[in-house]
């Protein structure tokens, strides 16, 4: 039983459906055949009964008058019985088989009314017997053979079996063909899936195949669409993953590179310091100051890297401590610091209250980075303007400078990590290329956006943050 079940589970869907169809057809054929045979049998039985009673009814009047012997039609048996004390004896002249005992019993029973019976004679096979009372204790009995009737029914059964077997064979063959055609799209899809499985996605992340073809019915079409949507989804996910990996790789490479520069400088200055300690003590301090400067640059870089990594992880330990703050106040404080630290850049401000739920230290970092850029990437004397306003559901901060601006091609990449406009004007101003990346990551972490618009003489960085409710 278990082996059968396992074999059934291994059979293909097409074969299963065909077999199921065959079994169903077999049941239908059996029911139809049995019903037809039954109806035919009943009909022939009734015909024989009618013939029996008709022949008896024509003989009865004659017998009543003459009390002679009945006529025997065809190969029928026929006799007139006299019944005395429940025992029937045949009158001479009738036609009876050798073992007529059963007939005498039926005749004895029929003295009170018509009796119809099926009997089986020893030599002649099945017979239909009809007995009816004549008068004063006489009974007319006729027996017609059922052999022909049975033969007819038998023939019908053979015809049925033949026709049904043929129909079943045609059904199975055609069904198998149609099913194979219908299931071909599924087989094709399985083939596609196999192709993808044998494709090395790490070497070439572009999935080369799709389940092609059309038709096959609504369900197959649906499945194909779902299949292709899934493939497209995997495709984009893989692409995104590859892209993220590539970005990370570049980030690590850039970070190492950026860290190597101050390290090399420090090593160089350390050598110089050792040399100066022995030969030119006056220059020692200068070398020491350089070492300090490079170390400070390095720690800024490492701080920024750490902050970016944490913001990227967006884990529970997000380095933000949000509280209700007024952005206008923060901007004023940043502006004061800027005015004190960068007297070469005239600064103007305009602000109205804009309360936000944010980490004040980090927002200050955003403002400082933008203001520092406006100072270091523009010539001395360039005017800078900071504005804070609430607009709709947003707090909007704008840092504008009247500097030379940023080329449109660079504007797209300006927020990328380690991106610096390679320009003799900005080179050597100590930037790490992380300032705007940090701004963008911090603003995004606060649920806001940052954008730039720039033309010569007017560069504006716009930060939008959700207003506190």
DSSP notation for 159-213: HHHHHHHHHHHHHHHHHHHHHHHHHHHHHHHHHHHHHHHTS-TTT--S-------
Among the listed ranges 166-174, 180-188, 308-316, 369-377, the one in contact with ligand ADP (CB under 6 A) is: 369-377
Among 143, 159, 134, smallest CA distance to 32 is for: 159
What is residue 91's DSSP assignment? P
Is 90 near ligand ADP (CB under 6 A)?
no
Query: Structure tokens of 422?
Result: 């390679």
Per-position x/- string for 397-416, each x denoting binding to ligand ADP as judged by CB under 6 A, each - no binding = ----x-x--x-------x--
Which residues does residue 458 pair with via DSSP β-bridges, in sequence order?
A: 455
C-alpha angle 278/282/287, rounded to 5°?
80
Question: Rule CB under 6 A: is residue 335 a binding residue for ligand ADP?
Answer: no
Residue whose pair of structure tokens reads 């399985």 in the numeric block: 190
Contact between 448 and ligand ADP by CB under 6 A: the answer reads no
Residues constituting the chain? 469
> Taking CB under 6 A as the rule, does residue 287 contact ligand ADP?
no
Among the listed residues 416, 440, 420, the one whose alpha carbon sits nearest the alpha carbon of residue 365: 440
Contact call for residue 426 and ligand ADP (CB under 6 A)? yes
Query: Which of 213, 268, 319, 433 is the binder for ligand ADP (CB under 6 A)?
Result: 433
Q: Which residue has the tokens 């110089």?
A: 272
How many amino acids of this chain bind ligand ADP (CB under 6 A)?
20
Q: According to CB under 6 A, which one of 78, 138, 146, 373 is a site residue for ligand ADP?
A: 373
Residues paired with residue 461 on neighbouring β-strands, in sequence order? 399, 452
Nearer to ligand ADP, 76 or 461 (CB): 461
Any contact of residue 334 with ligand ADP (CB under 6 A)? no
In whole angstroms, the minimum distance from the beta carbon of 440 to ligand ADP comes to 9
Closest to ligand ADP by CB, 104 or 367 = 367
Q: Which residues pair with 462 in a beta bridge?
A: 398, 451
Give yes or no for residue 419 binding ligand ADP (CB under 6 A).
yes
Shortest CB 210 distance to ligand ADP, Å: 41
CB 315 within 8 A of CB 345: no
435 binds ligand ADP (CB under 6 A): yes
326 binds ligand ADP (CB under 6 A): no
- Residues near ligand ADP, by CB under 6 A: 373-374, 377-378, 401, 403, 406, 414, 419-421, 426, 431-437, 459
């Amino acid at each position: 039983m278990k082996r059968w079940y396992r074999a059934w589970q291994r059979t293909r869907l097409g074969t299963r459906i065909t077999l199921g169809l065959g079994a169903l057809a077999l049941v239908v054929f059996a029911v139809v055949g049995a019903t037809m045979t039954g109806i035919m049998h009943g009909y022939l039985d009734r015909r024989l009964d009618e013939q029996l009673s008709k022949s008896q009814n024509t003989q009865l009047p004659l017998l009543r008058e003459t009390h002679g012997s009945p006529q025997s039609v065809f190969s029928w048996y026929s006799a007139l019985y006299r019944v005395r004390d429940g025992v029937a004896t045949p009158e001479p002249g009738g036609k009876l088989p050798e073992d007529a005992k059963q007939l005498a019993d039926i005749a004895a029973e029929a003295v009170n009314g018509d009796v119809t019976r099926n009997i089986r004679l020893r030599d002649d096979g099945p017979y239909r017997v009809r007995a009816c009372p004549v008068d004063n204790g006489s009974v007319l009995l006729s027996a017609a053979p059922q052999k022909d009737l049975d033969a007819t029914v038998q023939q019908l059964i053979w015809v049925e079996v033949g026709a049904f077997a043929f129909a079943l064979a045609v059904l199975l063959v055609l069904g198998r063909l149609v099913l194979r055609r219908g299931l071909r799209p599924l087989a094709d899809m399985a083939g596609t899936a196999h192709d993808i499985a044998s494709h090395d996605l790490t070497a070439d992340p572009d999935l080369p195949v799709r389940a092609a073809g059309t038709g096959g019915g609504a369900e197959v079409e649906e499945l194909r669409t779902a299949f292709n949507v899934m493939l497209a989804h995997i495709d984009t996910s893989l692409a995104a993953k590859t892209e993220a990996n590539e970005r990370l790789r570049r980030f690590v490479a850039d970070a190492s590179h950026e860290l190597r520069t101050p390290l090399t400088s420090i090593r160089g200055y350390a050598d110089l310091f050792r040399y100066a300690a022995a030969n030119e003590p006056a220059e020692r301090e200068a070398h020491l100051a350089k070492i300090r400067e490079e170390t400070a640059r390095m720690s800024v870089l490492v701080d920024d890297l750490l902050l970016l990594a944490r913001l990227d992880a967006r884990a529970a330990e997000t380095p933000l401590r949000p509280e209700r703050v007024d952005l206008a106040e923060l901007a004023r404080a940043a502006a004061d610091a800027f005015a004190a630290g960068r007297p070469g850049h005239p600064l103007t401000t305009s602000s109205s209250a804009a309360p936000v739920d944010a980490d004040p230290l980090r927002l200050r970092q955003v403002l400082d980075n933008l203001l520092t850029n406006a100072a270091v990437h523009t010539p001395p004397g360039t005017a800078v303007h900071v504005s804070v306003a609430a607009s709709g559901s947003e707090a909007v901060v704008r840092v504008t400078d009247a500097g030379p601006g940023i080329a449109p091609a660079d504007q797209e990449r300006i927020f990328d990590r380690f991106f610096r406009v390679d320009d003799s004007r900005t080179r050597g101003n100590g930037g790490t290329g992380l300032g705007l990346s940090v701004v963008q990551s911090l603003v995004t972490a606060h649920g806001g956006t940052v954008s730039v618009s720039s033309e010569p003489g007017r560069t504006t960085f716009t930060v939008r943050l959700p207003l506190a409710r």
